[in-house]
Structure 1
């Protein structure tokens, strides 16, 4: 159970970091995740927490690399093979060789084989980490494409070099010729087996879809298992599992047309599942870094406290040398990205700073063996520490420098304008629904509520909501008052209803006298109405007695007339006995009251609704809809479906009208069209799933 709780807390820390990040997006998301991990390290459970390296590579790196390959543009990759080989193979190998000798020269106690292992660890770059830093910056397209393609394969180069260095250290045997041969076999063998298994995986998936087994419960688990199985198969035969899953992901990318031969719902679920999974795994790695750093720091201080400054110095030198090497490589166009002469300096600087290290670097550091020949693996904590410092530097330096050399990203659509237009088209559709469906307020309001909730995620203004609720409460009181005046409901029942209404709404207002005023007004009206009705009754009785006195009559006639008058005087004071028929009648009266109140409040909300108060009006509408649903039947489902279709058509009409009047840009219109199409598709799928 300890492993379960440990992983659970790591995931929760990742979620917390991802939740905080949008509030302060200036700081890269990875820093929040590292900090969350550092806070988590205070929990006793993590004081000696160790994740098995093989498990780390299999469960985290394999799906991440498969996803990167799956999302890569295979056509772009084929056109830029030269650039890929230059950056991911040639530059990676040169970096490992140069940094290996440099590390050994600075830290002379570090064996040369482990120095090369350290160089291999800090060589791979992470395009995802780059994206988190440059979210709002306009990175040159050529540079960003180069970084994405490079990160696919230099990970494998680093991993293969890392494996060779570890083998040389653990066995004490290494030859240049044998190393090169092994590198080529592992590298290209991993690609080959990945391509073969990727083709087979695509064929199997297509077969499942065509044979009718395309439910999410079959395809989603199949897709998630594919990278794990391919990684294990490649590693089992001694080839690069990482390159195998990248190659398999590329086969998925090339087979997009065949993979689209499935339901839209399945494609949406697949995309959402992978996006969620990779987002959690990427954050998981940096949380692990934060969890591990305090322990590594303590271990280093206990073991080799005198070398701590040297380790920090080594990490800084390694980062600066890699930065300079990348700059020169891109500056002289050895990266083959075909930059214009006047762009090379800027592209070189951006490309060098964008050599951010992240997931793979940390993964390789953690994959260092825990023991060697029954003893703790030498320099393991030192290598992890240096790798961690390099990662932090590669995140921190571009975060500080890049905003000064790159312009802000120009978004084709202003988010504020898009949100305003989204609210406007929902308001237009809601108004048309009310106009075209006056006989079905309940179903109409339910549809309008859902449409408004999809228009914006803004939180309603509590003060505006209270004001609207107070106005709606006043409408309720007026409605009950009119029904009592008309004799539709008994006066006592109206009294109890308004008293209950005031008590329920008392807590929602900062000014308690608002509802008390309503109560006193209602009581005053009822007293006036009762006095007026009693006066009319007394006048009617007086007139009856006057007519009796003026006309000849017998003693028996006078006795019967007085008995009728006495009964009329006593009738208001009599209370009917409780019985099922009376209860049914009261229920019927209550439903009548509820229907009238709901219709009047809905009409009020429709009249006061606007683009500016849409969120607050919808909050009040949600309250009354929820209350109304408890008393009405659910036979409006089919009608609501028809109203939804009408609403979507009205939204399309709004966009066409705005485009015809040149009030919407083509980009904004396209985004709104896409949002409506997505809403419509999801609604139709949900509706089909409930049939």
Structure 2
């Protein structure tokens, strides 16, 4: 069990690493990073001689992915294009298996015809996940992309059924065309039927749970995640297509969208986020597993048939070219029924042929070949797995290279960089208004501003700019403490101690050991000058009072008043304090005075300095001072004020969008994107506020 845990953990880490590197070099499809991460991971002893368990792979990875694809499919679009689905996912798939089966037997001498058909069935299914991976930044025509997505939903079942029939024919030595067709129809349409029935039951049960008050995320979300696994297992135990069953169930969920929306906003957000995270991880798993498996396949091939390696690669290339040509002709002759205009049909045929990418199902079927046959190793098993792996890599590599020359880059409704820039401006407007309208609640205001700024952008602050702002804030602290000591608000000794600690922290936070050292000398010289001058003036007043008492003949009342003033001045002379609890309390009171005044002055500086360009840097410094201030000034009143200010800030953000749109400074698409972001932020905050209460 511990080995399984480590194996899964490493696969997750490899997926995360690949997904982390991808944004730095987005020109290369994400799938290649994941395959490379898996290949590196295969060097670990845990993955030596790694063998993929196809049943677990199909259940744990393919079932939820296909269910999610079905959920996001458009039922109306599927009904409208049902003829195209049958053409691509059934007719073309069967024709491809038959044609490539004969090609495989012709090229690879000694390969039985049944295994040749099994190999053809393995490399026939296309993969929507892989297609999306290579077309992320490319504008694929809508008709072609829709055809590819619909085809990949259903041609997996065609490939699986054909593969099962071919294996049965090889292991039993018997094959009947009529019984094969009958078996195909039962498995195909039976999988659809059981998926529709079980999907309807799953939707009814979910609606019942919500209506009966059991609509918490801890109940509904696990229920939704378990549904595809249960339906897949039920269909497979009935001898039907589990893949088609989960696709059909997903379509039922898609049709029942209005019913499923009758739940809390929080539940919908949590459910959507959970499925997004789950599918992203599983999609990465597919290609990481491929990368982990390839070295084992390579070693096995070299041990079995080293001299025939060139033949295997040639056959893989030939199979890929045959599929490419067949798909091109099928779409070019309009047998795909996507109703392309004649002027676009040639281009659509080329794009549709190149985009027939293979991945998950091909990999699963290849590894599901039996290990033994009549007590010996299953014939041609490693060969077929190797050929399938080469076909997968070719189908990923060729369109990655060719499609960017054929198709333009994808044009988004709004440029992401423009969205980030407008979001920064929006938050800057809201925070400026918030600071202006709430001058008496600095702590609550700055906390709200900090949170809003952190939501506006996730860019990393410039370290040098942050250090410059911190240096300036430190100068403000020094000047504030200096002024408070001059005014007698705090003692000189405590001011000196505060400045020493401040300068020490400044040295620790800077790579330059002399940074802010001038602040210390400036403060010390000021304190020396101020201390001497103040002591000198006080001593001069005492001497004058003593001379007045000695030289003037005053009344007893006047002499008593003058003596009281003299005693007061003498008491004000600096003297060494005794360390006791009262002194500690006084020091704490002095620190709180300093901290409060410093916080207000620094926040005023940051508010005046903040702009769209330095939001990240200002927020980093604001975060530091807010955290320090909260340690000494936390209160329920501040929390209540923050809640009111958040509502106020969201209203300012809406006002900004409305004003920008009215002035035609932003497009309708940009305004819609900003409205959606602000609405999401407000909805999440209100939900958190409700939970806190």
Q: Is the 8 A contact 1:53 1:369 kept in 2?
A: no
| SS state at 1:118 partner | helix
**Is structure 2 residue 269 aligned with structure 1 residue 262?**
no
Gaps of 5+ in 2: none
**Is structure 2 residue 164 aligned with structure 1 residue 163?**
yes
Q: Is the 8 A contact 2:52 2:293 kept in 1?
A: no
Q: Is the 8 A contact 2:301 2:383 kept in 1?
A: yes
Instruction: Pick which of 399-408 and 166-175 moved more.
Output: 166-175
Q: Report deviation, 1:565.
A: 5.6
Distance in 1 between the 2:555 and 2:650 partners? Answer: 78
Task: Report the counterpart of residue 244 of structure 1 in structure 2.
Answer: 245
Task: Report the counterpart of residue 686 of structure 2 in structure 1.
Answer: 684
Q: Report deviation, 1:569.
A: 4.6
Task: Report the counterpart of residue 292 of structure 2 in structure 1.
Answer: 291
Distance in 2 between the 1:223 and 1:665 partners? Answer: 38
Instruction: Pick which of 557-566 and 203-212 moved more.
Output: 557-566
Superposed structure 1 runs of 4+ greater than 4 Å apart: 557-571
Task: Report the counterpart of residue 178 of structure 1 in structure 2.
Answer: 179
Q: Report deviation, 1:325.
A: 0.3
Distance in 1 between the 2:569 and 2:641 partners? Answer: 49
1:335-384 superposed Cα distances (whole Å, 9 cap, x missing partner): 00000000000000000001011111112112222333443322221111
Q: What is the TM-score normalised by the length of structure 2?
A: 0.97
1:570–1:437 Cα change, 3 Å: closer
Q: Report deviation, 1:51.
A: 3.0
Q: Report deviation, 1:553.
A: 7.7
1:113-167 superposed Cα distances (whole Å, 9 cap, x missing partner): 1111111111111122111111121111100000000000001111111111112
**Is structure 2 residue 314 aligned with structure 1 residue 313?**
yes
Distance in 1 between the 2:91 and 2:265 partners? Answer: 42
Q: Is the 8 A contact 2:59 2:232 kept in 1?
A: yes
Distance in 1 between the 2:653 and 2:561 partners? Answer: 71
Distance in 1 between the 2:442 and 2:301 partners? Answer: 71
1:544–1:141 Cα change, 3 Å: same
**Is structure 2 residue 602 aligned with structure 1 residue 601?**
yes
| SS state at 1:679 partner | helix
1:545-590 superposed Cα distances (whole Å, 9 cap, x missing partner): 22122223899x9999899868855753433333333333322221
Distance in 1 between the 2:536 and 2:311 partners? Answer: 103
* Equivalent runs, 1:618-629 vs 2, <5 Å: 618-629=619-630
Task: Report the counterpart of residue 421 of structure 1 in structure 2.
Answer: 422
Task: Report the counterpart of residue 75 of structure 1 in structure 2.
Answer: 76
Q: Report deviation, 1:510.
A: 4.0
Task: Report the counterpart of residue 666 of structure 1 in structure 2.
Answer: 668
Q: Is the 8 A contact 1:56 1:367 kept in 2?
A: no
Task: Report the counterpart of residue 481 of structure 1 in structure 2.
Answer: 482
Task: Report the counterpart of residue 147 of structure 2 in structure 1.
Answer: 146
1:409-441 superposed Cα distances (whole Å, 9 cap, x missing partner): 222212222111110010000000011101100
1:191–1:554 Cα change, 3 Å: closer
Q: Report deviation, 1:624.
A: 0.4
Q: Is the 8 A contact 1:61 1:363 kept in 2?
A: no
| SS state at 2:334 partner | coil
Distance in 1 between the 2:488 and 2:639 partners? Answer: 34
Q: Is the 8 A contact 1:57 1:367 kept in 2?
A: no
1:158-203 superposed Cα distances (whole Å, 9 cap, x missing partner): 1111111112122222111110110001111111111100000000
Q: Is the 8 A contact 2:63 2:229 kept in 1?
A: yes
1:97–1:592 Cα change, 3 Å: same
Distance in 2 between the 1:367 and 1:18 partners? Answer: 28
1:603-631 superposed Cα distances (whole Å, 9 cap, x missing partner): 00000111111111011001101111101
Gaps of 5+ in 1: none
Q: Is the 8 A contact 2:494 2:587 kept in 1?
A: no
For these two proteins, the number of residue pairs brought into alignment is: 691
Distance in 2 between the 1:212 and 1:47 partners? Answer: 50
Q: Is the 8 A contact 2:535 2:573 kept in 1?
A: no
